[in-house]
C-alpha cells in the first residue's frame, strides 16, 4: 500500500484531505523551480513620484494634483546619488533571490530610453538625463540574482490610451479602434525593447483590470514574450495569462489556490517614497511575515522606495539588514522549502525541506516546549538553527504525537527555527488528536503542559469543563479533585475561568498562530498566548471592529494597531496586539478580544489593488 501511495503522489496528485503531500513537479513547471525556491524578492518602486513624495500615478488619476503639475516632477528627478551596485549589494545581502523594478508605472514614465512612439522617458525628459534601468539590471545579473521587470499595461499619460483620470476619458475604443491599435503597438514595442535589451527572467504586469483580455491582446502578448525567452515567468496580471498569483498587501488567511504565488508587500503604507509615511512595520513584523508566507508555500516580494536622488531611506535599510541577519542564520529553513504542516497537527508556522526529510518550525515566542501530532514517521534528531548549545528533549507517545522540550536555548529576537530530521520523506500526517479528560489534565504534574493541552482541547471544540463544576467567574468551583490534583492548575483555571466556561471552538487555520476559543455569544475571542512573544501577537482576517482588548484574570487593557487596512477595501488589515512581558502568565496567558458584534471572518481571495483612492 505504501509503495502504491508513493507512486500515486509522484504523478503530482494532492488529496484534498490535506493529509498527503505531493512529491514531484510536472515537467512543464520546471521553469518555475527557481521562483518557488526563492522565497524572498525585493520590489523597487522608483519614479518621478518620489520627487514630491506623492502617490505614484494615482495622485493625478484621482485628481489630487493636476496631470500637468504631476509631470513637472520630471524636472526634479535627478538620480544624483544613484549607485546600482550598492542597491544590489543591499538586496542580495538581505537574502532576496530576485528583484523586480518598476520600469514604467501607470503614469507612463519609462526608466529606460524607449523608442516607442510618443514615449515619456527619464533619459529624454527628466533632470537625470540618463537610462537608470539598464545599470541596475546589469548589476543584478552580475550578482547572480534573477531579474524582474514591472510593467504597467495602462499608460494614463499617453495620448493613444483611452483613460486619462478617474473622471476623464480621451475616447471610447469602439468609436476610435485605430487609436487603440496604435496604443497596443506602442506598449508591445516597449515590451519588445525590454525583452530584447534586458533579457529579464520575470515580467510583472499591472493594471490589467482596465480592459479585457481581447483588448490587451493578452494571449498574443504572452506568446510574443516567449519568443525572447521561452522560460519567461509572468505574473497573473495579464488577465490570468500568467504563471503565479499576486495577492497584494493583505497576507492571505489561507494559501492561494495556485501552486505558485507571491505576496507583494510594503514596509509602510506606500509603494513609492513618501517622506511623511512613518507607519513602518517593525523589522520583527517583516521577518514574521516572511515566515508566514514560507509556511503557506509562497514568496514575499518586499517593497523598497528609493528617493529621487537614488538613496534608500534608513528605515528601509534597517529592515533589510535585519532580514540579512535572519536569513543568513536560517537559510536552510527558507530556500527550497515547501508548505508546512496542517494547523490541526501543529499550532504554529512550519515548512518542509524539498526532499521532505526535514521539518522546520518557526517559533515566534520563547517557550519551553512545542507539540506536534500525527507525524507518521520516525524522528532522527532536532536542533535549533544557529544555536549549538541548545538542548531539545524529544518525547513520543508511540502514536505519532511528539513533544519537544527546550532548554538552554538562546531564542531569536524575531523567529527561532527548530529543525527536525526524519528518517524518510514525509508524505502523510494523521489528524486524529487524542481527547483528554478533565481529571487526567488536573493530575498532570507539569502545569505548563497541562494548561496548554486544556487550551488545545477547547480550541478543537472539546470543552472538557462541561458539567464539571466550573463557574463563570472561577469562584466556588467544584471541579473533581483527588490527592494527585495539581493545585497550580486549579489556580490557573480559576484565574481564566471566563475563557473556559461554556466557550466554543476556536479560530480555523490562518487567523491566529495558536489556540483560541470563542465565547458563547461569539462576541469575545480568547487567544492563548504561549511563552514570551518576540513581538506583538497578530490576528488576520477579522472583519469586526475591536471594542476592547484585555488580559484575562488581571484586567490590564491592551492597545492594538492595524496595518495594511485600506479604508475602501473589504479586506481586513492585520491586527497587532502588544502584550507587556511583565503581564504575561508564567504558564499560559489568555487575551480577551471584545468585538463590536458576533465574529465575522474574512476568507476570500486577496487580489490586486484596482482602485487606489
510-526, pLDDT tens digit by residue? 999 999 999 999 999 99
Tell me the CATH number for domain 35-333. 3.20.20.80
Q: What is the dihedral of CA 373, 438, 363, 259, to 10 degrees?
A: 40
Q: Give the H or E element holding residue 187.
A: helix 177-198
pLDDT in tens, 224-251: 999 999 999 999 999 989 999 999 988 8
Residue 605 pLDDT level (bands cut at 50, 70, 90) = low
Q: Can you say how many angstroms the Cα of residue 305 is from the centroid of all Cα atoms in its chain?
A: 19
Q: What's the confidence (pLDDT) of residue 240?
A: 86
Superfamily of domain 438-595: Golgi alpha-mannosidase II (2.60.40.1180)
pLDDT in tens, 444-471: 999 999 999 999 999 999 999 999 999 9
pLDDT in tens, 380-434: 999 999 999 999 999 998 888 999 999 999 999 999 999 999 998 887 777 777 7
Rg (CA), the chain: 27
What does the mean pLDDT of the chain come to? 92
Q: What's the confidence (pLDDT) of residue 329?
A: 98
pLDDT in tens, 126-136: 999 999 999 99
pLDDT in tens, 564-588: 887 777 889 999 999 999 999 999 9
Taking 70 as the threshold, does the pLDDT of residue 21 lie above it?
no
pLDDT in tens, 7-19: 222 223 333 334 4
Please state, for a pLDDT cut of 70, what percent of the chain lies above it. 94
Q: What's the confidence (pLDDT) of residue 334?
A: 98
Taking 90 as the threshold, does the pLDDT of residue 606 lie above it?
no
3 state SS of 135: helix
Taking 50 as the threshold, does the pLDDT of residue 338 lie above it?
yes
Are 595 and 543 in contact, with CB atoms under 8 Å apart? no
Taking 90 as the threshold, does the pLDDT of residue 324 lie above it?
yes
Average pLDDT over residues 437-446: 92
Taking 60 as the threshold, does the pLDDT of residue 265 lie above it?
yes
Q: What's the confidence (pLDDT) of residue 10?
A: 28
Q: What's the confidence (pLDDT) of residue 177?
A: 97
Taking 80 as the threshold, does the pLDDT of residue 92 lie above it?
yes
> Which DSSP symbol is given to 150?
E
Taking 70 as the threshold, does the pLDDT of residue 155 lie above it?
yes
**Largest alpha-carbon pair distance within the chain?**
90
Q: What is the dihedral of CA 220, 223, 227, 232, to 10 degrees?
A: 130
Q: Give the H or E element holding residue 281.
A: none
Amino acid at each position: 500500500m505504501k509503495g502504491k501511495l508513493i507512486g500515486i503522489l509522484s504523478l503530482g496528485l494532492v488529496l484534498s484531505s490535506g493529509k498527503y503531500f505531493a512529491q514531484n513537479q510536472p515537467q512543464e513547471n520546471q521553469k518555475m523551480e527557481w521562483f518557488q525556491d526563492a522565497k524572498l524578492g525585493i520590489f523597487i518602486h522608483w519614479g518621478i513620484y518620489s520627487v514630491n513624495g506623492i502617490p505614484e500615478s494615482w495622485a493625478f488619476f484621482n485628481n489630487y494634483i493636476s496631470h500637468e503639475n504631476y509631470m513637472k516632477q520630471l524636472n526634479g528627478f535627478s538620480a544624483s546619488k544613484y549607485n546600482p551596485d550598492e542597491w544590489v549589494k543591499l538586496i542580495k545581502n538581505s537574502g532576496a533571490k530576485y528583484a523586480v523594478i518598476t520600469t514604467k508605472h501607470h503614469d507612463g514614465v519609462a526608466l529606460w530610453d524607449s523608442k516607442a512612439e510618443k514615449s515619456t522617458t527619464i533619459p529624454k525628459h527628466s533632470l537625470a538625463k540618463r537610462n537608470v534601468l539598464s545599470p541596475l539590471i546589469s548589476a543584478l545579473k552580475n550578482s547572480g540574482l534573477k531579474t524582474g521587470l514591472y510593467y504597467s499595461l495602462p499608460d494614463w499619460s499617453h495620448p493613444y490610451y483611452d483613460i486619462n483620470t478617474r473622471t476623464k476619458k480621451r475616447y471610447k475604443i469602439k468609436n476610435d479602434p485605430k487609436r487603440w491599435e496604435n496604443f497596443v503597438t506602442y506598449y508591445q514595442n516597449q515590451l519588445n525593447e525590454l525583452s530584447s535589451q534586458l533579457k529579464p527572467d520575470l515580467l510583472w504586469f499591472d493594471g490589467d483590470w482596465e480592459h479585457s483580455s481581447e483588448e490587451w491582446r493578452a494571449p498574443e502578448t504572452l506568446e510574443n514574450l516567449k519568443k525572447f525567452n521561452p522560460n519567461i515567468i509572468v505574473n497573473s496580471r495579464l488577465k490570468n495569462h500568467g504563471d503565479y498569483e499576486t495577492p497584494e498587501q493583505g497576507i492571505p488567511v489561507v494559501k492561494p489556490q495556485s501552486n505558485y504565488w507571491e505576496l507583494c508587500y510594503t514596509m509602510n503604507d506606500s509603494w513609492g517614497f513618501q517622506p511623511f509615511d512613518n507607519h513602518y512595520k517593525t523589522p520583527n513584523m517583516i521577518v514574521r511575515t516572511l515566515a508566514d508566507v514560507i509556511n503557506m508555500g509562497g514568496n514575499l516580494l518586499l517593497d523598497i522606495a528609493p528617493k529621487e536622488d537614488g538613496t534608500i531611506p534608513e528605515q528601509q535599510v534597517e529592515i533589510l539588514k535585519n532580514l540579512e541577519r535572519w536569513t543568513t542564520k536560517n537559510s536552510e529553513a527558507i530556500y527550497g522549502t515547501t508548505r508546512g504542516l496542517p494547523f490541526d497537527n501543529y499550532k504554529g508556522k512550519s515548512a518542509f525541506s524539498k526532499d521532505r526529510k526535514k521539518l522546520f518550525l518557526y517559533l515566534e515566542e520563547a517557550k519551553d516546549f512545542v507539540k506536534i501530532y500525527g507525524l507518521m514517521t520516525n524522528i532522527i534528531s532536532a536542533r535549533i538553527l544557529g544555536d549549538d548549545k541548545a538542548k531539545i528533549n524529544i518525547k513520543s507517545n508511540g502514536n505519532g504525537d511528539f513533544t519537544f522540550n527546550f532548554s538552554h536555548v538562546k531564542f531569536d529576537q524575531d523567529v527561532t527555527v527548530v529543525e527536525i530530521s526524519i528518517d524518510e520523506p514525509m508524505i502523510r500526517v494523521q489528524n486524529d488528536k487524542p481527547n483528554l479528560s478533565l481529571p487526567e489534565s488536573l493530575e498532570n504534574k507539569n502545569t505548563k503542559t497541562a494548561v496548554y493541552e486544556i487550551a488545545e482541547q477547547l480550541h478543537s471544540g472539546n470543552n472538557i469543563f462541561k458539567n464539571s463544576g466550573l463557574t463563570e467567574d472561577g469562584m466556588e468551583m467544584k471541579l473533581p479533585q483527588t490527592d494527585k490534583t495539581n493545585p497550580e492548575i486549579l489556580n490557573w483555571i480559576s484565574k481564566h475561568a471566563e475563557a473556559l466556561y461554556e466557550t466554543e471552538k476556536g479560530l480555523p487555520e490562518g487567523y491566529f498562530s495558536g489556540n483560541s476559543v470563542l465565547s458563547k455569544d461569539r462576541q469575545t475571542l480568547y487567544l492563548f498566548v504561549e511563552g514570551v512573544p518576540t513581538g506583538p501577537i497578530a490576528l488576520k482576517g477579522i472583519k469586526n471592529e475591536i471594542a476592547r482588548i484585555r488580559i484575562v484574570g488581571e484586567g490590564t487593557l491592551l492597545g492594538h494597531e492595524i496595518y495594511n487596512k485600506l479604508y475602501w477595501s473589504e479586506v481586513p488589515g492585520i491586527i497587532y496586539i502588544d502584550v507587556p512581558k511583565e503581564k504575561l502568565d508564567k504558564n499560559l496567558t489568555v487575551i480577551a478580544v471584545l468585538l463590536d458584534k458576533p465574529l465575522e471572518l474574512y476568507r476570500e481571495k486577496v487580489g490586486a489593488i484596482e482602485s487606489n483612492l
